[in-house]
Structure 1
């Protein structure tokens, strides 16, 4: 197995065995990665790559929007923020504007850090599995 194939297999296994909470964290991490790449692409004037990376970030935001439960009050508050971030990514793409990307990046990092805290708190309150000390 080639090193790249081994890494891909590892990533696929990590995704398949992750909880829904861990998958959400992976989405946030991916969004951060693609926004940062797009920012570098703007600096180097690699507009084709910038477009691809922004579109990947937008697809992640769309996936996060889909996962929101519309019956939960918090979801009703988060949805407009996701919508704004998606719109701002579109503007950044059209205008090649790193300031817009930085703004969205700050939101995504804030969501990611909050989500990490939620996962840590959930692990602390989760009862231990039987037979494991």
Structure 2
């Protein structure tokens, strides 16, 4: 029996034990990683790597679309944004366009940064409320 890769085991454990907010952040970061890898593949003329990485980025965006809570007021705007980014990723893949990928990268970065701020504020509220209740 072979030993599992310790880095892979750590990564799997991180994903399995992360709270939902952290998982969303991980997905945004993964999407950005795949877009960057797609841009690099375009620059290098590697069509296979471009396609593989952009499909992974698309799958992340599609996951956001499928799991979006439609009962939240902002969900319709997010759905429109995710749909737009997904269509642009498809177009970037077809046209091998680094310019389109830069546009989507900027949009995903904004969403990721906003999500990071939400997590930060949520943590402050949780820790603040917990400390405020003690005598």
TM-score between both structures, scaled by the size of structure 1: 0.92
Q: Secondary structure at the match of 1:86?
A: helix
Aligned mates of 2:7, 2:66 — CA distance in 1: 28
Aligned mates of 1:72, 1:117 — CA distance in 2: 18
Equivalences, count: 127
Deviation by residue 1:48-107 (Cα, 9 ceiling, x = unmatched): 000000000000001111221112120011100000000000000000000110000000
Aligned mates of 1:14, 1:72 — CA distance in 2: 28
Unaligned runs of 5+ in 1: none
1:35 corresponds to which residue? 35
Unaligned runs of 5+ in 2: none
TM-score between both structures, scaled by the size of structure 2: 0.91
Q: Secondary structure at the match of 2:89?
A: helix
2:94 corresponds to which residue? 94
Aligned mates of 1:59, 1:118 — CA distance in 2: 23
Aligned mates of 1:41, 1:26 — CA distance in 2: 22
User: In angstroms, what is the RMSD of aligned CA positions?
Assistant: 1.2
Aligned mates of 1:94, 1:77 — CA distance in 2: 26
Q: 89-98 or 119-128, which moves further after superposition? A: 119-128
Dislocated runs of 4+, deviation >3 Å: none
